[in-house]
Structure 1
Amino acid sequence: MTDLRSSKLQAFGSASIPKLVLMFSVPAIISMCVNAFYNIVDRYFVGQGVGALGIAGITLCFPIMLFIMAMSMIIGVGGNTLFAIRLGEKKYQQASIILNNSFVLLIIMAVSAFALGEIFMDPLLRVFGASDQTLPVASSYMWIILLGAVFQTIAPGMNHFIRSMGHPKTAMLRDIVGALTNVFLDWLFIIQFHWGIEGAAWATISSQLVSSLLIMHFFIKKSTPIKINRRHLHLHFPYVRKIFILGFPPAIMQICNSLMNAILAWSLSTYGNKSLQPTVSMTGGDIAISAFGIINSVVSIAVLPLMGFVQGTQPILGYNYGAKLFDRVRGTLKFAYIYSVAFMIIAWAAIQWKAEVFVAPFAPGDLNMQTVTAWGMRVFTKALPFVPLGMVAGNFFQGTGKAGLSMFQNACRQVIMLIPFLIVMPLFFDLQGVFMAQPMADVGAAITGLLLLRWHLKKME
């Protein structure tokens, strides 16, 4: 066993870099592709069965759903970090307490999200830009989602612990089963049963229930070394405090992403009403919000697999950086840059050339929506080839233990640069400025990442 482990570690410093990157990237790419597939098929069924108004309603709910995910991340990441440390120290009793306390905290977070959501949901949706037409749709969807908030926190939160116990494939399979279940139930509830937007919501929480049940089965079966145990379910506040301290920094990005989506929805509503002609059933702002929901789904097909590929380089960068094999560090970075940029150039060219083809399935028969969305998509993806430049740099900093630089670089694209651009650009270009904000942020994050990376590589020498 020792020789096997030694040979695997030595491979980081001697094996072919492309082979290593593919070895570590493929599982991450598969998970990301499943998420992208779920995202686009979910919106497809809503577009087919409900229409553009349904996509607008779901898009308005994004900030609230992202905030719930952030609450899950605080506990999942914070608890899992502490859990993994105690496992390494062979303090299994403490590890069991941490796991069980995290489970209880995830439930508390879900109940809190449900209570606060029920109180503030409609006012928040109005702030995000909901109109008289989209508010009932968004409220109907979000009310059901809040009913299943406990499954939204347990499924992703407890999956972290499965990975830490040495079962990454088990965790991945549970993600895949949940996503495929969602797709099937979307088809069943929306297309076959004609439940409309409520069908989309029931499909989402039902699939999360399935994922949660599979995850909980793992934690109660006999072969699992550390289980859900009634004796350890009462909260130990020293551990609770540490879980929040460790989990809050990674969740900051998700919280900021929620804020960014709220500002984006408001901007789309405000400047869409100024720039687009209303229809019988939708205001100009509703059309703009629905268009962005479609754009976001299509672009995720390119960006999520890219994230999986880039993440696959992280352990290779970390090992070779620690071993001071700096030529292999540069070789890994070069490989990551060449292939990720090439992939994004292909995605960019396809979108710029045939945006209408990607849009049509989401808005069948609605030529006005297709035209607006295709135009917005072309503007939104102008700088798509620049995305890997900043992403690879942020991943390098994370893989080599530069947590502060990693957080700063990752925040550049979605927060530090995007939010100011979202506020300023529409003042000069109206709705076009809203869509221009993302490519401007992509270019700025790419330049920042390359400069920081160049500085650090020189320092490395």
Structure 2
Amino acid sequence: MKENILGTDKIYKLFIKFAIPAIIAMVISGTQTIVDGIFLGNFVGQNALASVNIVQPFMQIIIGLSMIVSIGSLSFIGRSLGEGKKEEAQNIFKTAFIVITFLSLGVLLVGRLLSDEIAVLLGANEVLLKGVSTYINTISIFAPLMALMFLFGFTNRVVGNPESYLKGTIVSIIVNISLDFLLIKQLSFGIRGAAIATGLAYTSALLIVIRPMLDKKNVVNIFRGKFDKSVIIPVVYNGSSEAVISIASATTAYVFNMTFMKIAGEAGVAAFTAINYVAQFGILIMFGISDGIGPILSYNYGNKKYDRLNEALKLSTKVNLAIGIVLFFILFVFGEQLVSLFANGNQAILDLAVNGSKIYAFAFLLCGFNIINSGYFTAIGDARASIIISASRGIVFIIIGIKILPMVIGTSGVWLTVPFAECMTLVIGNCMLKRSSKLNARAIEI
């Protein structure tokens, strides 16, 4: 059966089969808002670009809730299949399907009814309020479809069908670019057009990834299994590190937006948006590696094949380090060219963002380790360790850094906050990894 290859094929072959499609899918999925940013920045203006960035914490809520349930259930499903417990895996999936549907419907209602209040809460000023509220009000309609796309896409991976999620995300980016061109450039729908394009792009991906879930021949599908309320808390707890990642992303965006709004106004927020988009693209590659090896780790952990667990962990760490070095070089050397994609010749944005990119680039040398460490602990069910890593790099040390570093070295301290957070988290993560009894009492040297 397809799932058995996770315990028998060579690790490097599994890495190619699972991680490469996951990388491509993660990057494509994550570039939905980047595409919006390019079109809005060039055809509407810097305020529209800044508005979309202020919306990001709300987008992270939608994605975060989806990830909590999807990643949390993915780990349990993988380990259950590894242990030969098919019925248990089917029950977990059915429960996840029901829970994620109700959660996303709640987001839809809140977003539609309270879009203005949410926009103000996220830091939108009088200039940006209308645009931010419009995006929230529109994208909320698609929340359930987005959530189910993630659940079905991720579940396809653990049952040995990673290509489905990849196909879905390829279709989605084509739809997004086409609709952005039509709605923003041709029809001048502005921010509402960007939200519609993103929502319909996720919907098109859902139409692809739902197909295997409708096939009764698959070991896991929407027809098999029963709702089991006893697995809700374990699934949510195990996936809570993904919630922390989304909260961390929202926290970073919020803290930086508020800081730059005080320092440089809308231009400062737009400059951070440009750098954040470029950085997000690189980090998505690393998250793709982490997500791709998740089924390999969880299945072999459930099957007690710790040597294969070690091999997959070491390989993914080395690959992420190599990717980090390449991304550091690209952002450090070609930062101006990349930022110009979003700035539309605005010199104020370019000056702020280009200087910041050379400092921000150092984060790439470190974040790959932290992303892999967090993903590893989630895959083996050690949610506590994964939460600590995610919270450290995205919340705790971000807040500490943004409070202290700008007072010491000025604006450069704002840009240095992310590398500082990654460095401190690496120390904590490596200590936990070396002490992990989950690796059969072996110390892991990175």
TM-score (norm 2): 0.82
Instruction: Report whether the alignment pairs 1:244 with 2:232.
Output: yes
Contact persistence 2:50–2:270 (CA under 8 A): yes
Q: Which shifted more, 250-259 or 59-68?
A: 250-259
Instruction: Report whether the alignment pairs 1:177 with 2:201.
Output: no
Q: Please, which of 43, 52, 60 is the counterpart of residue 54 of structure 2?
A: 60
Q: Please, which of 321, 330, 339 is the counterpart of residue 350 of structure 1?
A: 330
- Report the 3-state secondary structure (helix = DSSP H, G, I; strand = E; otherwise coil) of the residue aligned with 2:125: coil
**How is 1:77-92 mapped onto 2 (pairs within 5 angstroms)?**
77=71, 88-91=84-87
CA-to-partner distance for each residue in 1:63-84, whole Å, 9 max, x for gaps? 1111122222344345666767
Shift of 1:165: 4.8
Q: Which shifted more, 314-323 or 156-165?
A: 314-323
C-alpha separation in 1, matches of 2:235 and 2:375: 19
Instruction: Report whether the alignment pairs 1:366 with 2:366.
Output: no
From the superposition, tell whether residues 266 and 168 of structure 1 become closer, same or farther in structure 2 (CA, over 3 Å): closer
Instruction: Report whether the alignment pairs 1:196 with 2:178.
Output: no
C-alpha separation in 1, matches of 2:213 and 2:396: 40
C-alpha separation in 1, matches of 2:147 and 2:306: 40
Contact persistence 2:393–2:425 (CA under 8 A): yes
C-alpha separation in 1, matches of 2:320 and 2:157: 27
From the superposition, tell whether residues 101 and 353 of structure 1 become closer, same or farther in structure 2 (CA, over 3 Å): closer
AA paired with 2:35? Answer: V
Residue of structure 2 in register with 1:123 after alignment: 117
Q: Which shifted more, 426-435 or 381-390?
A: 426-435
Pairwise CA RMSD: 3.8
Shift of 1:265: 4.2
Shift of 1:398: 4.7
C-alpha separation in 1, matches of 2:250 and 2:375: 26
Residue of structure 1 in register with 2:107 after alignment: 113
Residue of structure 2 in register with 1:460 after alignment: 442
**How is 1:424-439 mapped onto 2 (pairs within 5 angstroms)?**
424-429=404-409, 431-439=411-419
Q: Tell which structure's C-alpha radius of gyration is larger.
A: 1
Residue of structure 2 in register with 1:25 after alignment: 19
C-alpha separation in 2, matches of 1:206 and 1:394: 31
- Report the 3-state secondary structure (helix = DSSP H, G, I; strand = E; otherwise coil) of the residue aligned with 1:383: helix
Residue of structure 2 in register with 1:159 after alignment: 153
C-alpha separation in 1, matches of 2:342 and 2:123: 21
Shift of 1:441: 0.4
Residue of structure 2 in register with 1:375 after alignment: 355
Q: Please, which of 271, 275, 278 is the counterpart of residue 259 of structure 2?
A: 271
C-alpha separation in 2, matches of 1:397 and 1:77: 12
C-alpha separation in 2, matches of 1:159 and 1:333: 23
From the superposition, tell whether residues 430 and 128 of structure 1 become closer, same or farther in structure 2 (CA, over 3 Å): farther
Shift of 1:139: 0.8
Contact persistence 1:154–1:212 (CA under 8 A): yes
CA-to-partner distance for each residue in 1:266-304, whole Å, 9 max, x for gaps? 43344324422xxxxxxx1x2222222221221123222
Contact persistence 1:67–1:254 (CA under 8 A): no
Residue of structure 2 in register with 1:43 after alignment: 37
C-alpha separation in 2, matches of 1:333 and 1:186: 39
From the superposition, tell whether residues 68 and 390 of structure 1 become closer, same or farther in structure 2 (CA, over 3 Å): closer
From the superposition, tell whether residues 380 and 177 of structure 1 become closer, same or farther in structure 2 (CA, over 3 Å): same
Q: Please, which of 269, 276, 285 is the counterpart of residue 289 of structure 1?
A: 269
Shift of 1:334: 5.6
**How is 1:320-335 mapped onto 2 (pairs within 5 angstroms)?**
322-323=304-305, 325=307, 329=310, 335=315
- Report the 3-state secondary structure (helix = DSSP H, G, I; strand = E; otherwise coil) of the residue aligned with 2:345: coil
From the superposition, tell whether residues 289 and 258 of structure 1 become closer, same or farther in structure 2 (CA, over 3 Å): farther
Contact persistence 1:380–1:436 (CA under 8 A): yes
Contact persistence 1:380–1:438 (CA under 8 A): yes
Residue of structure 2 in register with 1:302 after alignment: 282
Contact persistence 2:75–2:378 (CA under 8 A): no
From the superposition, tell whether residues 70 and 244 of structure 1 become closer, same or farther in structure 2 (CA, over 3 Å): farther
- Report the 3-state secondary structure (helix = DSSP H, G, I; strand = E; otherwise coil) of the residue aligned with 2:188: coil
C-alpha separation in 1, matches of 2:305 and 2:322: 29
Contact persistence 1:28–1:308 (CA under 8 A): yes
Tell me, which stretches of 5 or more residues in structure 1 are unaligned? Answer: 277-283
From the superposition, tell whether residues 195 and 420 of structure 1 become closer, same or farther in structure 2 (CA, over 3 Å): same
Shift of 1:387: 1.8
From the superposition, tell whether residues 121 and 166 of structure 1 become closer, same or farther in structure 2 (CA, over 3 Å): same
Contact persistence 1:75–1:243 (CA under 8 A): no
AA paired with 2:100? Answer: L
Shift of 1:31: 1.8
